[in-house]
A and B are shown apart, each in its own frame.
Chain A
Amino acid sequence: MDILVCVKRVPDSAENEISVGPGGADIRREDLVYSVNEWDNYAVEEAIQIVERVGGNVTVVSVGDTEAEEIVRREMAMGANQGLLATDAAFTGSDGLGIATILEAVAQKAKYDLILTGAQADDGAAQVGGMLGALLDWPYASLVNLIKVQGDKSLRIGREIEGGSQEISDIELPCVLSIQTGINEPRYVGIRGIRKVASVEIPVLDGGALGLPPGTVGAAGARVRRVDYFVPQTGAGAEMLTGSTEEVAGKLVDLLKAKGGIK
């Protein structure tokens, strides 16, 4: 099975305090720690495990600036066979449809049986996989937390739905699936693994190579534009307790007792 996995380099929101920069034009990026989007990492692991079971190839692609190369390399160190980087100044400012359009062009350059994306990324939109499926006219399923290969024509898949229930379906190949976290346990990538792929060439695809004329993607082609970032004002917010560890613990005990939190 030839599998394409789409990955994004994002500020790790579990490791970073995200705050709004001057004028709201962007978030403050000075001290951010970047990594591969968590959902995408599960998608790469799943692709590798499928290929380990039934054979084939895993290609990892990222649409981004040249710094996205580091995450493509990291996912190759996990075990992906090839890496691709789709980068072009004209791609900057793409909306979800723009990214899906770029990925569609990447997918058309080779023959894939299966395309995986993460279920969502830093912007929480959860849109690119579904758009890519529609652009390719392939069937699609989101929030996938189980994949079983059934011959070379179809997959049995599970979708995570509300309440932790699992919706089981059969889906024809080729198809696009967006992967939910928890589907597997992504393998650890050590320094040695990264070193092994340090000099592997990662082909770069720009708008010309992908047959995307200027204006079709990027800010010029975007129907949805982020105007600014701001800090949400929701209700009164929490009353913040401050003081030494001893003092804060003491206040918490008093509050918990008053509200019946200690039995």
Chain B
Amino acid sequence: MTVADQLVERPSTITAPAALTFRRVRRIFRGGVEALSPTSLTVQRGEFIAIVGPSGCGKSTLLRLAAGLDKPTSGEIELGSESLGYVFQDPTLLPWRSVEANIGLGLEIAKVPRRERAEKVARAIELIGLQGFEKALPRTLSGGMRMRVSLARALTGEPDVFLFDEPFAALDEITRQALGDELLALFARQRFAGVFVTHSVAEAVYLSSRVLVMSPRPGRIVAEVAVPTEYPRDPEFRFSTEYSAAVADVSHALRHKAGPRGAL
């Protein structure tokens, strides 16, 4: 029995449907490359998980499949909610729109009335701490601020399921840690289900209660590391023994199960 199969058979004590379920989902690209070998996983409501793996292990494919941006070759995907948040690796802001117009884009496309839109945008701006930058254009902002705008935009959809595709990968370490803390604060308030794809072990452990380790070609889940520390977590968590132990476990799994030799 593979690790992936054990994941789906974990008995669920919660009667409400899971936030996200993959049942033996497989994706083969045109040309025959197997990006994702049959994978099963369940993300419960209010659960924050992370997926780590080397480049090209299919973790982004997994996320794109979950969001409906890509269709599986076989298998089933079930989303427990209609309201989905997705944060891309780059902030994907429209450079001709101001911060507030960017944040309101999704609402605008969904034809939400102007007044309601303005209220929701203002709330997201407050939640992310972008006050004073409403009229600024993206090109005048730093990378970290742009990512904040991107987060605020995703928040306006009031997502129950929040998917993150290496959103902080292009940022410097200090900004990255700051945004990680902000994300945890947000999680504490909104209690969405989160799937955070990253190739930073430290980030994965810090944010999530469960880290799934993927191996490349064909992409599959090879290990799962639990991070039992309760939320809310504060920056001191980074210096705890629980944190170090989890980082060591994930690193070990990456090295021995997801590495080129481990794949053999």
Q: Do A and B come from one complex?
A: no
